[in-house]
């Protein structure tokens, strides 16, 4: 492993730059040499930084745009981890600076850099403590990007927590009237989740043993860097496998390999009558669903979203919620597949409950922003359902493509919701900046006063509604379809939720944009949309439409990695889970197995 430092790692600087450039600029901005009064300079520097990071992530994701593809760039269709960076960090615990992207994380990275850029542009109306705001904003971006690219659990956790403090201050200083309450509530919920996550991380770490993995698995999980030459590889493999004491690991890929072993130590260890696998799954799940958020731990979200300033609401809804879904997909299921299978009902159930509860709650809101916030709860319910059905089909027959459909749908829903919810929050923010209230009852007639803005806003809200042809539709329909294979009742409920969604969104559009004239306060401030606002809204609308009519653009990235992970777990279910005598009765015939192999 020592040799890892000396091998060439083409992705080292690009990935490191994507993650740490914002933090570096934040450090620069925080220096006393940047005077507080130079607000325009600070704003432009931040916008420029986020733009550079966005271009860098685009450079990784879409090499064709920049000419020939280099070794650090993403190869479409390649299912494994790419652009892996591996440097030792804390040797005593085997903690590494291990980064990498695949089809699951890369689109989320691009989404993050894109929304950060738009949010930076949306930060112009912030006039209080501009310098501190932008420093915290950039630190937040580093934290978010770090979570998506970390492949080491310790590193993942560090980035996960790094986001908390900037977010606390961003809500608490620049937020609305109840900002302090909202900020501490957000912090408290998330910290509770992350402490539970830390316990799970430690449990997994101390139970893991790299010696159980075959040389191929060690290479595949980058415990031993495949970039080494053959001799060094063999040495490194031997060093791991011949160790006298168990070799623990924080490597997420290796933990997944260990978790999927037939003799997985996670499944074998019992704590208080429940397998460690299940404990870890539950603890991690709580940590992640708080972020998603899922009913009943969603209550921080309406407060945080409503009180946060517009750009931060965009980031919260667009990116932070996705961290939860990403964590479940990347960590919970691959590492604890058995628990995932057993607890599928829980994940799916939580998803459907959030979906319905969020929709009803949104229907009842008087505050425009709060309504949008509850719509996020409802929409993220689809993500949970889509992720949950994945592991659930074992009792029926093996249709891994049906599971993959659900997971692909969930991934698409996350990305689409990133676009549409950020758009919705921005649209609410544009109105709020003018009339300084968000009371749905006091709006009306906005279309007459701001036609361009209203057109764009209605497009974004329709995307949130899930109108065919817009981005919100694809994810919902895929998730609903695939959940039919798991539980018809859940599928029916999730299909009916679309009606509720349509109801609250259409009703909101009617109350805000339609109507004869605006009668609420500050009517004379309803000026036309500014070029800056237009520059933020247009790309969001553009992508909402683009991904609606050409979802393949995203699926080209997402599907190969998702399918491979699902196939691996389908194979695990057959090979390991059903091989256990207790569940033999539940297995169908062997036929579908060949079906999978044929693919």
Partner 1 sequence: MNLGSLITDTLANTLDVSLPLFRPELCLAATVVLLLLCRMLPVLRHADSALVALGGVGFGLWYAWSDFKSLPAGGDLLAGRQELFTGLLVYDALTAYVRLLLLGFLALYILFTKVSGIPDREDGADFYTLVLGGTLGMCLMASANHLLMVFMAVEMASVPSYALAGLLKGRKASSEAAIKYAVYGAGAAGIMLYGLSLLAGVLGTCHLPSMTVELAKTAHAGAAGGSVMVLSLGGLMLAVGLAFKLSAVPFHFWCPDVFEGAAAEVGAFLSVASKAAAVALLLRVAFTLGVPAGGEAAAQTLAALDDTRHFMVYLVGLMAAVTCTLGNLAAYGQTNMKRLLAYSTVAHAGYLMMGVAAAIAMAGVTAAGTRDAVTAVAFYLGTYVFMNLGAFAIVAFLRNTLRSEEISSYAGLVRTSPGIVVATAVVLVSLIGLPPLAGFVSKFLVFSALVEAISAGAERPLLLVLLVVGGFNTVVSLFYYLRVLKVMTFDPPPAERATEPFPLVSLPGALVTALVLPVVGLGLFWSGLYAAAQLAGAFAS
Q: Under the rule (CB under 8 A), what is the footprint of partner 1?
A: 30, 32, 90-92, 132, 157-158, 161-162, 164-165, 168-169, 172-173, 179-180, 184, 187-188, 191-192, 195-196, 198-199, 202-203, 205-207, 245, 269, 271-272
Least Å distance, CB 372 to partner 1, is 25
162 or 210: CB nearest partner 1: 162
165 or 526: CB nearest partner 1: 165
Consecutive H or E run containing 285: helix 276-291
Query: What phi, psi does 37 have (nearest 5°)?
Result: -75, -20
Least Å distance, CB 514 to partner 1, is 39
90 or 535: CB nearest partner 1: 90
Least Å distance, CB 191 to partner 1, is 5
Least Å distance, CB 192 to partner 1, is 5
- Answer whether 288's CB lies under 8 Å from 327's CB: yes
- Residue 152 tokens, joined: 């080491």
Question: With helix as H, strand as E and coil as C, how does 418-472 read?
Answer: HHHHHHHHHHHHHHHHHHCCCEHHHCCCHHHHCHHHHHHHHHHHHHHHCCCCCHH
Q: Around Cβ 399, how many Cβ atoms within 10 Å?
A: 16
Using alpha carbons, list the distances in angstroms from residue 461 to 369, 452, 515, 549: 13, 14, 17, 16
Q: First vs last Cα of the chain: how many Å apart?
A: 36
165 or 506: CB nearest partner 1: 165
74 or 187: CB nearest partner 1: 187
272 or 598: CB nearest partner 1: 272
Closest by CA to 416, choosing from 475, 344, 490, is: 475
Least Å distance, CB 196 to partner 1, is 7
- Answer whether 432's CB lies under 8 Å from 369's CB: yes
Least Å distance, CB 325 to partner 1, is 22
Give Cβ neighbours of residue 305 (< 8 Å, ≥ 6 apart).
313, 316, 317, 369, 370, 372, 373, 376, 425
- Answer whether 400's CB lies under 8 Å from 596's CB: yes
Handedness of CA 485, 488, 494, 495 (dihedral sign): positive
Coarse DSSP helix, strand, coil percentages of the chain, rounded to the nearest 5 percent = 75, 5, 25
Place of tokens 């009803």: 360
157 or 504: CB nearest partner 1: 157
- Give the three-state DSSP class for 150: strand
Least Å distance, CB 34 to partner 1, is 12
Buried b (16+ CB within 10 A) or exposed e, 267-283: bebeeeeebbbbbbbbb
271 or 550: CB nearest partner 1: 271
* Distance between CA atoms of residues 31 and 99, nearest Å: 29
Q: Which residues pair with 251 in a beta bridge?
A: 152
Give the rounded distance of the alpha carbon of 261 from its chain centre: 27
78 or 180: CB nearest partner 1: 180
Q: Around Cβ 532, how many Cβ atoms within 10 Å?
A: 12
Least Å distance, CB 199 to partner 1, is 6
Least Å distance, CB 285 to partner 1, is 16
Give the rounded distance of the alpha carbon of 245 from its chain centre: 37
245 or 516: CB nearest partner 1: 245
Least Å distance, CB 221 to partner 1, is 22
Least Å distance, CB 19 to partner 1, is 13
Q: Which residues pair with 274 in a beta bridge?
A: 271
Count H helices, E strands: the chain? 27, 4
CA contacts within 13 A on the Cβ side of 117: 23
184 or 534: CB nearest partner 1: 184
307 or 476: CB nearest partner 1: 307
Q: Around Cβ 143, how many Cβ atoms within 10 Å?
A: 24
179 or 330: CB nearest partner 1: 179
* Distance between CA atoms of residues 112 and 323, nearest Å: 10
84 or 155: CB nearest partner 1: 155
Using alpha carbons, list the distances in angstroms from residue 233 to 1, 226, 295: 9, 7, 47
Least Å distance, CB 244 to partner 1, is 10
Least Å distance, CB 181 to partner 1, is 11
Least Å distance, CB 102 to partner 1, is 25
265 or 334: CB nearest partner 1: 265
* Distance between CA atoms of residues 381 and 385, nearest Å: 6
Least Å distance, CB 33 to partner 1, is 12
């Amino acid at each position: 492993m020592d040799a890892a430092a000396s091998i060439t790692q083409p992705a080292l600087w690009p990935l490191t730059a994507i993650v740490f450039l914002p933090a570096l600029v934040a450090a620069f901005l925080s220096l006393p040499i940047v005077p507080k009064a130079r607000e325009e300079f600070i704003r432009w520097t931040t916008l420029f930084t986020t733009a550079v990071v966005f271009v860098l992530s685009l450079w990784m994701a879409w090499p064709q745009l920049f000419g020939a593809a280099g070794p650090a760039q993403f190869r479409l269709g390649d299912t494994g981890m790419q652009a892996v960076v591996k440097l030792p960090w804390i040797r005593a615990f085997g903690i590494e600076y291990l980064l990498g992207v695949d089809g699951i994380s890369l689109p989320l990275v691009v989404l993050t850099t894109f929304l950060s850029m738009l949010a930076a542009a949306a930060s112009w109306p912030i006039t209080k403590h501009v310098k501190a705001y932008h420093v915290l904003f950039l630190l937040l971006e580093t934290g978010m990007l770090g979570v998506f690219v970390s492949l080491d659990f310790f590193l993942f956790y560090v980035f996960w927590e790094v986001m908390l403090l900037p977010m606390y201050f961003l809500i608490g200083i620049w937020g609305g009237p109840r900002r302090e309450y909202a900020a501490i509530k957000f912090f408290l919920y998330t910290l509770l989740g992350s402490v539970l996550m830390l316990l799970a991380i430690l449990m997994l770490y101390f139970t893991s043993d790299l010696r159980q993995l075959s040389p191929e698995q060690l290479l595949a999980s980058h415990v031993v860097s495949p970039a080494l030459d053959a001799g060094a590889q063999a040495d490194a493999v031997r060093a791991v496998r011949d160790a006298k004491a168990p070799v623990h690991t924080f490597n997420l890929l290796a933990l997944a390999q260990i978790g999927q072993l037939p003799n997985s130590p996670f499944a074998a260890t019992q704590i208080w009558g429940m397998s460690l696998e299940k404990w870890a799954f539950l603890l991690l799940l709580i940590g992640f669903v708080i972020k998603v958020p899922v009913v009943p731990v969603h209550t921080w979200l309406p407060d945080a979203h409503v009180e946060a300033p517009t750009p931060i609401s965009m980031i919260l809804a667009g990116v932070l919620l996705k961290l939860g879904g990403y964590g479940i997909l990347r960590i919970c299921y691959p590492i604890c597949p058995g628990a995932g299978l057993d607890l599928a009902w829980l994940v799916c159930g939580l998803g459907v409950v959030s979906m319905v509860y969020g929709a009803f709650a949104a229907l009842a809101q008087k505050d425009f922003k709060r309504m949008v916030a509850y719509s996020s709860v409802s929409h993220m319910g689809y993500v949970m359902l889509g992720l949950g059905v994945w592991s659930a089909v074992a009792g029926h027959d093996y249709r891994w493509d049906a599971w993959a459909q659900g997971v692909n749908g969930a991934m698409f829903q996350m990305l689409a919701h990133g676009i549409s919810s950020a758009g919705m929050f921005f649209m609410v923010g544009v109105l709020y900046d003018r009339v300084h209230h968000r009371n749905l009852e006091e709006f009306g007639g906005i279309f007459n006063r701001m036609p361009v803005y209203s057109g764009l806003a209605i497009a974004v809200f329709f995307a949130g509604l899930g109108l065919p042809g817009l981005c919100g539709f694809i994810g919902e329909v895929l998730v609903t379809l695939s959940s039919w294979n798991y539980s018809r009742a859940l599928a029916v409920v999730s299909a009916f939720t679309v009606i509720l969604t349509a109801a609250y969104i259409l009703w909101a559009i009617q109350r805000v944009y339609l109507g004869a004239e605006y009668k609420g306060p500050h009517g004379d401030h309803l000026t036309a949309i500014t070029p800056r606002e237009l520059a933020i809204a247009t790309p969001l609308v553009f992508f909402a439409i683009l991904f609606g009519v050409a979802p393949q653009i995203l699926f080209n990235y997402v599907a190969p990695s998702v399918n491979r992970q699902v196939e691996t777990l389908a194979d695990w279910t057959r090979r390991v889970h059903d091989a256990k005598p207790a569940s033999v009765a539940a297995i169908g015939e062997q036929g579908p197995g060949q079906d999978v192999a044929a693919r």
